[in-house]
Amino acid sequence: MRAFIFPGQGSQSVGMGKALAEASAAARAVFQEVDDALGQHLFRLMTEGPAEELELTENAQPAIMANAIATLRVLEQEGGIRLADKADYVAGHSLGEYSALCAAGAIDLVTTARLLKHRGLAMQAAVPVGIGAMAVLLGADLAKARAIAEAAADGEVCTVANDNDPSQVVLSGHRGAIERAVALAKDMGAKRAMLLQVSAPFHCPLMQPAAEAMQAALAEAQVAAPLVPLYANVTAAPVADPDTIRALLVEQVTGMVRWRESVAAMTEAGVDRFVEFGGKVLTPMAKRIAPDAVGISVVTMDDIEALAKVI
């Protein structure tokens, strides 16, 4: 069985999508449709930069989605492959959940782009710059990360944002608490702890204003049942009902991304192949969670052509 998976924020880079667009009309059509939907030259920003503008949450989120969907569309249109025939499930990490839903036909491309632009703006506006922070703990499992977060909180928000794999967990919350967590981490059993270069503390209770903004936006958005079930970030379980999908996307803004559990649950359900579109971040995580699984990252035309031969 096979799962198509989609990366989250951090996988953006200047130059993304350029070679794909040069090689494929299908990719160019995706980038143009997203540009038109947003009323901005996002694709030019993706290919030319500047990097600091691309890294803004409001730009990075739709850019990563556009790149992932363009990669999939090339496979589908030029390889003659249908997602419903080749994938048993879809999943995405944080914003990648929107890419997954778009890929599976639950949300159209224009709506997905606009939702992610709105999501990025709402997340950035939820917490003033400098108030929040995030840190990655390496060599720490979920239990250890929760203990570190609890010890560091001291009355402030300090929670697990992403349970990525057995050796990588991300904390989010008030800057002071996150800095205390970094200082405490090694003594409490983590191998290493580092502050992340992010503009807001994602996936923690401080994002509640953004969750409310997304609840309003999603209430107006057309959401259909996906062609194949989505493994949701906040439940690590499959979902196909549109109203439930909406509710989980809202919950996801403040909730923990249960990626380790999601991959483990998909493996338990029979998935033995994970195909990542538009990035090379989730595949190594999947391999650390499910060492016997096959992981394939699809980024370039060569990757697409190689996948089309074996899928």
Tell me the per-residue pLDDT of 154-180, one tens digit each, with 9 for 90 and over: 999 999 999 999 999 999 999 999 999
Catalytic annotation, pick one of 11, 24, 93, 94: 94
Whether 94 is a known active-site residue: answer yes
| Assigned CATH class of 2-126+206-310 | alpha beta
> What is the model's pLDDT at position 198?
86
Over residues 205-226, the pLDDT tens digits come to 999 999 999 999 999 999 999 9
Q: Active-site residue 167, yes or no?
A: no
Distance between terminal CA atoms of the chain? 11
What is the per-residue pLDDT for 199? 83
Question: Which residues of the chain are modeled with pLDDT < 50?
Answer: none
Residue with tokens 């996150």: 178
> Would you kindly state where each structural domain of the chain is located, as residue ranges?
2-126+206-310, 132-198
Percent of the chain beyond pLDDT 70?
Answer: 100
Fold annotation for 132-198 = Alpha-Beta Plaits (3.30.70)
Please give the pLDDT value at position 290: 97
Cis peptide before 226 (omega within 30 of 0): no
Q: Which residue is catalytic, options 24, 118, 203, 297? A: 203
pTM higher than 0.95 for the full model? Answer: yes
